[in-house]
Every structure is written in C-alpha cells, then in structure tokens.
Amino acid sequence: MSYDAIDEKRALRAELRERRRFMTAPERAKADAALTRNLIELVERTGARSISAYLSTPYEPSTREFVQWACDRDIRVLLPVSRQDGLLDWAPYDGGDEEDDLFGMPTPTSELLGPIAINEVDLIFVPAASVDRSGMRMGWGMGYFDKTLGSMEKCPPVYAVIFDSELVDEVPSEVHDQRVDGAVTPSGIVSFKD
C-alpha cells in the first residue's frame, strides 16, 4: 500500500468535505434538482427495473427524491447497510422509517437481505468523494463499495453520484480501488466505457 496515495486521498477527502459544507442552499437545491433529473434519465434510458442506491446525507449529492421516484414507479430499490465485518447487507427501500447504521449513514428499517442480494440488480449507484476521467472512483475510505464491487461475478453498470467539481483528471488510487462505468452529476451523465 502506497503511503503517498493514502496521504493524497486523506488530503483530497478533507478538501472535498469542506467544499461540500460550503455550498450555499441555492447552489445545493439547483444541483440536487438537476442530479435527480439525470438519475431518472439514466434509469429510463437503461430500462432498469431493479437498482441499488443509497440514502444521501445532508452534505452529499441528494439521492432522496430519486429513490422515492423509483419506489413510486415500482422499481425495486436496494439500499446498503454497513456490517462490522466490512461487508454490506442490502435492504429494500419501502419509503418507511430510517435508522443510522454503524457509521451514522441512513438506512431503511426493512428486512436485511444479505450481501449477495445486490447480484440481482440492473444498475448500481454508489457514493463517491471523487471520480477521475478514466472511471477510477475514490470513496470515503471505508472500502465497503470497493469490496462489494470487487466481489461481484457479473456486475451491472455502476455509476458514481457526485457534484460537477468532483469529476477530475486523476484521483490517487490503490490496488483495491474499483473503477465505475460512469458518473452522474448535476451537469449530466458521463460514461467511461464507451
């Protein structure tokens, strides 16, 4: 493991967290509305009937309207639930109650389906701190999504959900880091596999 990459990631994550915190309410509302439109467009374009997504926290690009939209259209939505062993369980979104997982991330209170439930979805949306133009995703340092994506035998298309400024020329990476097929930003849908 390269200590340079670890240090670079740590510094970049801190900068990105700070940028997200200082977005104004009007900037955030505009970005979130555009992002929701683009997430919906991608699902409609691909014809996905089952997706995995996540419930965004206040400083993340918002996925909440999109997740509700999918649920309202009978698109099956699986949401991640962190486990102590570093894996993700999955729970269906039913629009009901939420609770915080091990790391304070919002998760549904519906039945847990286990780590392999994600193998049945048509499209995966993942959070990210940043993504580069080759599709290398830099997460927030816990490794949950890298483990999940790296263990899937037949992985459907994976799109990171980020703000426009988080799509960069290059991110520091390590051997375990996983690439994504594209990114959804407020400005549009970017595909790295075309």
DSSP string, 36-99: HHHHHHHHHHHT-SEEE--PPPTTSPP-HHHHHHHHHTT-EEEEEEE-TTS-EEEEE--S--EE
Whether residue 63 has pLDDT greater than 50: yes
pTM equals 0.88
Q: Is residue 67 part of a domain?
A: yes
Residue 173 lies in a domain: yes
Q: What is 116-165 written as a DSSP string?
A: GGGGG-SEEEEE-SEEETT-BEE-SSS-HHHHHHHH-SS---EEEE--GG
What CATH number does residue 182 fall under?
3.40.50.10420
Sheet of 158-161: strand order equals 88-92, 76-82, 50-52, 123-127, 158-161, 182-185, 188-191
Most confident region among 37-51, 69-83, 133-147, 165-179 by mean pLDDT: 37-51
52 phi/psi in degrees, rounded to 5: -115, 140
Residue at 194 is within a domain: no
Residue 9: is its pLDDT beyond 90? Answer: no
Q: Specify the number of domains making up the chain.
A: 1
Over residues 165-176, mean pLDDT: 83
Q: Which domain holds residue 149?
A: 3-187
The reported pLDDT for the residue numbered 2 is: 53
Q: Does the residue 192 lie in any domain?
A: no
> Which distant-in-sequence residues (6+ apart) come within 8 Å of 182 by Cβ?
135, 157, 158, 159, 160, 189, 190, 191, 192, 193
Confirm if 80 and 139 have CB atoms less than 8 A apart.
no
| pLDDT-derived band at 1, boundaries 50, 70, 90 | very low
Mean predicted confidence (pLDDT) in 106-123: 81
Higher pLDDT, 124 or 7: 124
Q: What pLDDT is attached to residue 191?
A: 95
Q: Is there a domain that residue 23 lies in?
A: yes
In a domain, 81, yes or no: yes
pLDDT band at 190, cuts 50/70/90?
Answer: very high
